[in-house]
């Protein structure tokens, strides 16, 4: 699976949009971008995933650049409960031994009142 | 709805003791995964089950670690002759299939004294 690079930490004001970047410059054509987050003392929580089109669900939006070398997770109106470590993961979907999730160190997002 | 349930949430054991950690996956989920998370690090893959078959145990750190899922539902991770370096959070995840998002429990925090 391709390697990802994320900033170590970010701050965001409550009520504002949080934009979390991820670089995955070696991504292959059949690799998806997944985002998980982990709130303190909880297990990782699935947020969203995408291949090349932008995706939106009730939690967040995922914007993937046209060359697919980077992406941004957007939390449109951050709340204090969104304070967590956010992990960007790239994985192949469809066959093989690609079921493993390879977590990096992620980005610690702190939402401030 | 019912998510992945893990028990106990906390386990303290003396070095050399055996421990057993339980995972109840989401009903109907075929795939089950175990991960180990050291303090300040992202989760790392240990093993994978498809129904009752253990298809990948490449991440198990030693032969003291053993996992089973005899009826294709509940899984147990057993660690024999525990060592201090086994102290970590052990996370269980399940999914409908390997191509589907994995959903995590809140983990068991294991402390070896």
Q: What is the pLDDT of residues A61-98, one digit of tens each?
A: 999 999 999 999 999 999 999 999 999 999 887 666 67
Q: Tell me how far apart the alpha carbons of residues A29 and B50 are, in angstroms, rounded to a whole number.
A: 27
Q: Determine which of B38, B41, B102 to mutate to test the interface with A (most A C-beta atoms within 10 Å).
A: B102
Task: Give the residue carrying structure tokens 């298809």.
Answer: B55
| Per-residue model confidence (pLDDT) at position A59 | 94
Q: Tell me how far apart the alpha carbons of residues B19 and A91 are, in angstroms, rounded to a whole number.
A: 32
| Per-residue model confidence (pLDDT) at position A96 | 63
Higher-confidence residue of B2 and A72: namely A72
Residue A29, pLDDT above cutoff 90: no
Q: Tell me how far apart the alpha carbons of residues A83 and A67 are, in angstroms, rounded to a whole number.
A: 30
Mean pLDDT of A46-60: 94
Pair type for strands B108-112 and B10-13:
parallel
Q: Do A44 and B106 touch (CB under 8 A)?
A: no
The nearest CA of chain A is from the CA of B65 a distance in Å of 18
Partner A contacted by B48 (CB < 8 A) = yes
| Per-residue model confidence (pLDDT) at position A79 | 97
Burial of B39 per CB tally in 10 Å (0-12, 13-18, 19+): exposed
Q: Tell me how far apart the alpha carbons of residues B29 and B74 are, in angstroms, rounded to a whole number.
A: 11
Partner A contacted by B90 (CB < 8 A) = no
pLDDT in tens, B31-79: 999 999 999 899 999 999 999 999 999 999 999 999 999 999 999 999 9
The nearest CA of chain B is from the CA of A65 a distance in Å of 22
Residue B1, pLDDT above cutoff 60: no
| Per-residue model confidence (pLDDT) at position A53 | 86
């Amino acid at each position: 699976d391709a390697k990802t690079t994320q900033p170590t930490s970010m701050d965001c004001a409550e009520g504002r949009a949080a934009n979390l970047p991820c670089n995955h410059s070696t991504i292959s054509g059949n690799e998806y971008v997944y985002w998980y987050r982990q709130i303190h003392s909880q297990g990782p929580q699935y947020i969203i995933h995408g291949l090349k089109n932008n995706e939106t669900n009730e939690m967040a939006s995922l914007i993937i650049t046209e060359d697919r070398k980077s992406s941004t997770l957007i939390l449109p109106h951050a709340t204090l409960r969104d304070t967590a470590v956010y992990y960007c993961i790239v994985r192949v979907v469809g066959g093989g031994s690609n079921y493993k999730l390879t977590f990096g160190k992620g980005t610690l997002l702190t939402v401030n009142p | 709805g019912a998510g992945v349930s893990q028990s106990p949430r906390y386990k303290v054991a003396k070095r050399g003791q055996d421990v057993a950690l339980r995972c109840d996956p989401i009903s109907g989920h075929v795939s089950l995964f175990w991960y180990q998370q050291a303090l300040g690090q992202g989760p790392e893959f240990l093993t994978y089950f498809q129904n009752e078959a253990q298809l990948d145990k490449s991440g198990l750190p030693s032969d003291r670690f053993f996992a089973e899922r005899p009826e294709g539902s509940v899984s147990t991770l057993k660690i024999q002759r525990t060592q201090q370096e086994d102290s970590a959070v052990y996370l269980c995840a399940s999914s409908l299939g390997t191509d589907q998002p994995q959903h995590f429990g809140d983990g068991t925090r294991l402390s070896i004294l």
